[in-house]
Amino acid sequence: MWIKRLFFAGVFGLFGAVADEAVPAPAPFPPVPNPAQLAWHRAEYRMFVHFGMKTFYPSKIHMGTGLEDPRRFNPRHFDADQWVAAAKGGGFEGLVLVAKHHDGFCNWQTDTTDHCVKSSPWKNGRGDVVREVAEACRRAGLSFGVYVSIIDKHYEAVGSPNHPTYNDYYLAQIRELSTRYGPLDEYWFDGYQSEKTKIDYARLAEIIRRNQPNAVVYDSGTLVKYLPDRCLAWPGHHGGLKPDQNYRQEIEGVLRWYPCEPSTILQGNWFHHGTPMIPLRAIQDQYLTTVGYGVTPLMNVPPNQDGLIDAASGERLRQFKAWVDHLRARDLARGEGVRITAQNVRGNSPRFAPRLAIDGDDATYYATDDGVTNAVLEINLGRPRAISGFILKEYIPLGQRVHGYRLECRRDGRWTGVFSGLAIGYQRIILAGRASAKDVTFPVTDRVRLVIQNALACPLINSFRVLGGEED
């Protein structure tokens, strides 16, 4: 019976047999990402840009004192378009700029303090880093976000004549950034020592909700109570993550979509201090332990004192993008003569056919019937092929569902399990010899299959890519 079901499902998947077009789509399996979170997932990786007073007081310690002299801030060749070009060259979907770091120096024309760009010699005090970078991003079609440090060493040291409490001071800064620079795609709030600042997070959340309804918020645990539908979590450390990321987190008794956003260092110690960018393989490893585990990292690339990203760094980023592009271009599942079959197809409808898992379209997906929480997707490659890995994706607009899977390859007519995992999520990249597959090799094979052993609801597979080996 199993063979018959597989045969008929395969015939359906290959030839688009007549089926009921009225078959309903699966119901959402809550929680689901809101549009801002979904845009964040689809970004895949964004550039983190630390630039400020510490750029001009370089050291291996990224903390400032708040008493740095603004007259030191003078990036004579500052070029936001050059930053954006470097980001695009590296394949980054956007930038998150440090508008204010812990030292309290503001990279915009703020009315809250003189400890900002207007007290610097740069452009005779009339420059605005936030505005120039925001406009450069929009010209290039990149997203734009801001990091605004919750702690402020300058305010701690000298206070403010117009803001007797730091709460009023900080909220005024957030209001400026939220209303003067057009749409923001992301806010990044560092939770370091946040418990000492006594900020009214409910009011802060309302400023964001009212003025930037489409922004995702990295909240370090401070704002998710007030903006529960669009926050990103602190992973507990900087750098890569573990596989099997679970986006479904309980917040005050309610399941919320709350994925982790890792931040990684490609150069410097957040700020530029003269060291070169890390090796290409190390960048690849960061990619595989973040993007490859279904989250969107911020990868830090700091400009130098001239206000430019180092030329060597730009070249390294282009090499990185070439590697990513090459990795994704080796999809054997889209080759000529390839066939894909499944045991169960939702309502026997072409809207949910197995071929939709290999069509390269993020808007389509393979689905099973309600109540079917396991599935087998089998790809016949047509002939024996060298395999180097797989890329799997769930259709997350309707929730995260897969909770146990394995990959198998057929060799000499026999199926062999080659990899297993728990979660797929937005994306799972499995590359032989790398990251969580360090001890894994894949045999030359003519057929592969994804076996979903368990799902929390009927599984929805958006993509099943088979990566060809270099020698294939």
Tell me how far apart the alpha carbons of residues 116 and 121 are, in angstroms, rounded to a whole number: 11
Given 3.30.200.20, 3.10.350.10, 3.20.20.80, 4.10.80.40, which CATH number is that of 35-329?
A: 3.20.20.80
Q: Is residue 29 very low, low, confident or very high in pLDDT (cuts 50, 70, 90)?
A: very high
* Residue 298: burial class (beta carbons within 10 Å; 0-12, 13-18, 19+): buried
What pLDDT, in 10s, does the model give residues 286-301? 999 999 999 999 999 9
pLDDT at 4: 37
**Architecture of the domain made up of 2-29+331-468:** Sandwich (2.60)
pLDDT tens-place string over residues 202-212: 999 999 999 99
**In this structure, what DSSP letter does residue 24 have?**
P
Separation of CA 272 from chain center: 23
Domain boundaries, the chain: 2-29+331-468, 35-329
Q: Per-residue pLDDT for 266 more than 70?
A: yes
Q: What is the pLDDT of residues 57-114, one digit of tens each?
A: 998 888 889 999 999 999 999 999 999 999 999 999 999 999 999 999 999 999 999 9
Which parts of 227-384 fold into alpha helices (H)? Answer: 280-288, 311-329
Q: How far is CA 50 from the centre of its chain?
A: 18
What is the structure's pLDDT at 5?
Answer: 39
The predicted structure's pLDDT at residue 12: 41
- What percent of the chain has pLDDT above 70? 94
Q: What is the DSSP string of 44-81?
A: --EEEE--SGGGSS--S-----S---GGG---TT--HH
